[in-house]
Structure 1
Amino acid sequence: MSDYDNAIFRLATAQEAEPEDYTGEDGLLYCGNCRQPKEAYFTEGKSLFGRDRHPKECDCQRKRREKQEAADREQKHREEVARLKRKGFTNPAMLEWTFENDNGKCPQMDKALFYAANWEEMRAENIGYLLWGKVGTGKSYFAGCIANALMEREISVCMTNFALILNDLAASYKGRNEYIDRLCRFPLLILDDFGMERGTEYGLEQVYNVVDSRYRSRKPLIVTTNLTLEELQHPEDTAHARIYDRLLEMCCPVFFTGENIRKSTAQGKMERLKGLMNRKESL
């Protein structure tokens, strides 16, 4: 018998015995812990390499295997989620924009929860959000919560802004179409701070190309903007009109009415600083 055949034989027929294992009345090896057989007889008349039995998992072995397999799956899942977030976020701060970290100050957050929970329907119906309202009301955080929730389910999302997109397009002019195609391959694209990019003729043309390509790909788009719905519905010129028309056709407007969270955070920091200074002075 060759070395290869010997190896196959050991894998097929060997059953490692633990000190507490024992041989049952049926001649099979039993687990000393769960009292279940670790071997089983072949069906009558069959054998392998002259043996009439083969290994069988006892309950202990099965539980260990299932536990290890679950750990392996979880490890692979965490690695995939980390890869998606490295690829999909342009700002490390976005990693913290999650439902779990929400402070409850955004009245519209239930709509983010609904969108993430019903993602398959949102994708099938090509439904996006146009998040508009004053500065600091939580629009970007809202979008980031959706992005993180979907990526935790191993769904690829890109959250970026047109300032970065225009810089990338300017740096790779020859690969412009491929770059836009890559943006359109993401199941969900989130464009943050829309309207803050430069309004040059070239810039507006590229903005339209990205939005129109996304429109033709029939994949959802979420946009955050400080522009008002009035400004979006009544643009100043044709160049803006064709961009805004596409957005309003693709995205359902969500108005953010909450307080300026950034100002509230800054005020809280100022109060904590004053308290710290007062304690130091009293020492």
Structure 2
Amino acid sequence: MKPAFEDMSLQIPAATAEPEDYTGEDGLLYCGKCRTPKEAYFPADKVALFGRDRHPAECDCQRAQRMEREAAEQQRKHRDKVEELKRLGFTDPAMREWTFANDNGRNPQMKTARFYVEHWEDMKAGNIGYLLWGSVGTGKSYLAGCIANALMEQEISVKMTNFAAVLNDLAATFEGRNEYISKLCRYPLLILDDFGMERGTEYGLEQVYNVIDSRYRSEKPLIVTTNLSLDELNNPPDTAHKRIYDRVTEMCTPVCCSGVNFRREKAQEKMERLKKLMND
């Protein structure tokens, strides 16, 4: 039986010559476009092994074309990954538009949201979350969505949902309840929107506590948005709410969203446009 290396010369292709290519003074084939070698010599101690003295090499323009193809493929894979993360991470497709790029620049807490993304590794390591609280329409959900979108663009998995959706899912999957909650806790970042707006039944409160407590024990960061004030969170009406609120306030650093009521502004703008149309 012949040693495998005896057939190596048959497996090494020769460099492909184009009409404009030429042979240089060193005996190698050169690209006629970029004037760089399309061949390279084997080291002297390898010539006998491979049965020839040279092998194909990338010229500068071939290398540039390869890198361009690889970059395009990487970009395609990145877009596909981000698309999948957003499909799984958002309960409402409209949340995809809640980005820093679409910000109108009028929310004073936006720099706090940017800070969270810029220091994500520290936030994750320290298990630090945000409690975005304030009046209705002050942009709390939008801030949380900006954080979620920015992290997903970095291919970091985020889940942004609310307890109304969570409770509906739990009711529909009684036997798989533990696995459902475990799945929520596997996300590097979990965002619970409109906290405190869910049904206050005994069953509902128990499930809310299970989700919050499981997230707490997972030692992963949590972001919560709520219309509840800090005073309401610190002075719950009963024991069931207290054990939930205590967990949230321990996990999440309070950020007061005190901007104008953007929803009311939009409603006023629509009213003014309607008046103008009617007058016209």
- Report what 1:256 is aligned to: 257
Q: Per-residue deviation at 1:11?
A: 6.1
Extract unaligned runs of 5+ from structure 1.
none
Partner Cα distance (2:278, 2:31) in 1: 68
Deviations 1:87-135 (A, max 9, x none): 1000001000000000112111110010010000001111101111110
- Report what 1:170 is aligned to: 171
SS at match of 2:176: helix
- Report what 1:36 is aligned to: 36
Partner Cα distance (1:233, 1:11) in 2: 74
Indicate how the Cα distance of structure 1 residues 134 and 61 shifts in structure 2: closer, same or farther if over 3 A, else same: same
Partner Cα distance (1:90, 1:234) in 2: 31
Contact 1:127 1:251 in 2 (8 A): yes
User: What value does the CA root-mean-square deviation take over the aligned residues?
Assistant: 1.7
Contact 2:8 2:50 in 1 (8 A): no
Contact 2:107 2:259 in 1 (8 A): yes
Partner Cα distance (1:270, 1:10) in 2: 79
Q: Per-residue deviation at 1:268?
A: 1.5
Partner Cα distance (1:87, 1:34) in 2: 47
When the two structures are superposed, what TM-score results if normalisation uses the length of structure 1?
Answer: 0.93
Indicate how the Cα distance of structure 1 residues 172 and 8 shifts in structure 2: closer, same or farther if over 3 A, else same: farther
Deviations 1:199-232 (A, max 9, x none): 1100000000000000000100000011111110
Worse-superposed segment, 261-270 or 187-196: 261-270
Partner Cα distance (1:110, 1:25) in 2: 61
Partner Cα distance (2:69, 2:272) in 1: 50
Q: Say whether residues 1:61 and 2:62 are aligned partners.
A: yes
SS at match of 2:267: helix
Q: Which amino acid aligns with 2:54?
A: R
Q: Say whether residues 1:14 and 2:14 are aligned partners.
A: yes
Indicate how the Cα distance of structure 1 residues 200 and 112 shifts in structure 2: closer, same or farther if over 3 A, else same: same
- Report what 2:106 is aligned to: 105
Q: Say whether residues 1:132 and 2:129 are aligned partners.
A: no
SS at match of 2:244: helix
Percent identity for Structure 1 against Structure 2 = 71
Partner Cα distance (2:58, 2:137) in 1: 59
SS at match of 1:154: coil
Matches within 5 A, 1:115-194: 115-194=116-195
Q: Which amino acid aligns with 1:82?
A: E
Worse-superposed segment, 115-124 or 259-268: 259-268
Q: Per-residue deviation at 1:28?
A: 1.2
- Report what 1:242 is aligned to: 243
Matched residue pairs, number? Answer: 274
Q: Which amino acid aligns with 2:115?
A: F
Q: Per-residue deviation at 1:49?
A: 5.7
Contact 1:47 1:53 in 2 (8 A): no
Q: Which amino acid aligns with 1:179?
A: Y
Indicate how the Cα distance of structure 1 residues 264 and 48 shifts in structure 2: closer, same or farther if over 3 A, else same: farther
SS at match of 1:224: strand
Partner Cα distance (1:271, 1:193) in 2: 29
Q: Say whether residues 1:78 and 2:79 are aligned partners.
A: yes
